[in-house]
Amino acid sequence: MLDFISLALLLLTSLLLIFFNYRRKIAFWKRQNVDLLGVWYMLGKSRRQHLFEILDELYRQMKVEGKPCKVIETSLTTSVILQDHTAITEVLTSKFEKFPERGFYVNNQDPLMANLVRYKYDLWKPLRRKLAPAFTPAKLKYMFPTMTQVGERFVKIVTDELERSADGILEMHDWCKRFSMDVIGTIAFGIEVNCLEDGQNQFKTRMEKALVEHFRPLTDQICVKYPRLMNLLNFKYHSRQSIEFFGRLVQDTVEYREKYKVRRNDFLDLLLECRDNEDEFQLTMDMIVGHVFIFFIGGYESSSTALCQALYELAKKPELQEKARMEVQQVVTSQKVSYENLKSLKYVKQVIMETLRKYPIVPAMLRLCRESCSLNTKSGPLEIPEGATLMLPIYSIHNDEDFYPNPKEFLPERFEESSEKQRPTHTFLTFGDGPRNCIAFGFGVMELLYALSTLLVNFRFTLSEKSPKVIEFDRNTKYIASLSSGIYLKVEKI
């Protein structure tokens, strides 16, 4: 047993070590003429603003001051908010090997944390290679008919709802979420979620709870520094109910497939192949649960939010809506959109890209520095120490006048081929960039293109007295820009 004096000495030594470590780190940044922000800067601001608004204020200041970055240094964590475009491009592409992780914490006792988004480089690399074939154009084409079955139910259920509604005003975000949940459930895992029929079903409520539990920016930074301690304390992010719910769901589905020898060539089959393959990387059952969970998150929140934001922008600009609808009407037959139609829907695709530019669902990408290195910036080299977390502000880049003039305006023409060619590369970052970009971006775009054109050819959307003046975001969801309230629109059947 330690006596009181030994304990006091131990505490004092630890505090002194933390203090000198802090001084050393501050001196490192000062030598490079980098501005430091107070420890409480983010915490104070985050009560009033969303993460993307705070980062955007800083980004603009840095541009005016000609500074490549600002840093928040505590002795425990280092956050570098990067503004310089050359440096951002290097982090994502040519210097990827130094920044191949997001710096998220993983506790193997919490299976929902064991997934591609969170994995360290060594586990991520073979798994990404193994899962990428699930998203090739051939696979997307194969998935398409299943998506159209959900789309047809979507149209029918919204039509029925309109007949019951006295004023024709519907909360479209909820409808888009129900559609997205059913799509990802059936396409990825062969699970009939039936959220369209029952918006309060257990699946949707569980998913929304688990989503809030999953994203904890500050906790992640601390946990990732002390993973052994956190694992020793068995620190989990998800509640017992969430872990049990997704665990049981996967277990039951896998048992069913094995018993009846069902093969659907979907994401789950691919994950099971990785479990059974003995000669290379093998997945455990917990890892399969973690991936089913992250694919649900990816397919649910991002696609549904983007779809209803596109509807909202088109309701605000009826002339753009009419132009998009006319394009769809010219290519489809019997109001049904086929896979072959998609490549002709050029304007609808521009509407989607502009929506994803204006409202990137992930406001900032994170990259952990695995090995100290130097980045090139407009004002010279910038040394980044090992262990620093870089924040790459997607929202600010998408709202930078130099890349997108008049950025607050919704202008689908920005994504005409000729305009795209004039923009510098790595300025559209909604799906991230480089080797660690969104594995499912092709799937995301296909789903949005199909869903938006199907809705446009069946319904007309206008603003109502209940529609928000601008889209507001929930400050409690830091890593993702979730909507803070419903998007009510007046809907008419065509």
Q: Which residues bind ligand HEM (CB under 6 A)?
A: 116-117, 128, 188, 294-295, 298-299, 302-303, 306, 361-362, 365, 430-433, 436-440, 443-444
Contacts of 303 (CB under 8 A, 6+ apart): 176, 180, 183, 184, 444, 447, 448, 451
Shortest distance (Å) from residue 389 CB to ligand HEM: 13
| Nearer residue to ligand HEM within complex by CB, 51 or 490 | 51
Shortest distance (Å) from residue 231 CB to ligand HEM: 21
What the block records as the tokens of 133 is 């074939």
> Does 438 carry a binding-site annotation?
yes
Shortest distance (Å) from residue 67 CB to ligand HEM: 24
Burial of 23 (0-12, 13-18, 19+ CB in 10 A): exposed
Strands 389-392 and 78-82: parallel
Element housing 366 (H / E) = strand 365-368
Shortest distance (Å) from residue 307 CB to ligand HEM: 9
Distances (CA, A) of 486 to 172, 177, 178, 494: 7, 11, 13, 24
Shortest distance (Å) from residue 493 CB to ligand HEM: 27
| Contact present, 352 and 306 (Cβ < 8 Å) | yes
Query: Nearest Cα to 75, choosing from 21, 12, 17?
Result: 21
| Nearer residue to ligand HEM within complex by CB, 311 or 460 | 311
| Nearer residue to ligand HEM within complex by CB, 254 or 440 | 440
| Nearer residue to ligand HEM within complex by CB, 245 or 296 | 296
SS3 235: coil
Supply the DSSP symbol for 97. G
Supply the DSSP symbol for 424. P
Shortest distance (Å) from residue 317 CB to ligand HEM: 21
| Nearer residue to ligand HEM within complex by CB, 315 or 390 | 390
| Nearer residue to ligand HEM within complex by CB, 67 or 304 | 304
Shortest distance (Å) from residue 441 CB to ligand HEM: 6
Shortest distance (Å) from residue 431 CB to ligand HEM: 5
Supply the DSSP symbol for 106. -
| Nearer residue to ligand HEM within complex by CB, 139 or 336 | 139
| Nearer residue to ligand HEM within complex by CB, 443 or 488 | 443
Distance CA 150, CA 133 (A): 24
| Nearer residue to ligand HEM within complex by CB, 73 or 399 | 399
Shortest distance (Å) from residue 465 CB to ligand HEM: 30
**What burial letters (b/e) apply to 242-261, b meaning 16+ CB within 10 Å?**
bbebbbebbeebbeebeeee
Distance CA 170, CA 489 (A): 6
Q: Which amino acid is at 296?
A: F
Q: Which amino acid is at 394?
A: I
Distance CA 222, CA 216 (A): 10
| Nearer residue to ligand HEM within complex by CB, 67 or 436 | 436
Element housing 440 (H / E) = none
Distance CA 294, CA 437 (A): 15
Query: Nearest Cα to 364, choosing from 33, 58, 45, 129?
Result: 58
Q: Phi, psi (5° rounding) for residue 466?
A: -90, -5
For 166-247, strand residue ranges (E) read 169-171
Count CA atoms closer than 13 A to 273's CA, side-chain side. Answer: 13
Q: Residue with the closest Cβ to ligand HEM?
A: 432
Shortest distance (Å) from residue 274 CB to ligand HEM: 14
Residue ranges of the binding site for heme: 438
Residues tagged in the binding site annotation:
438
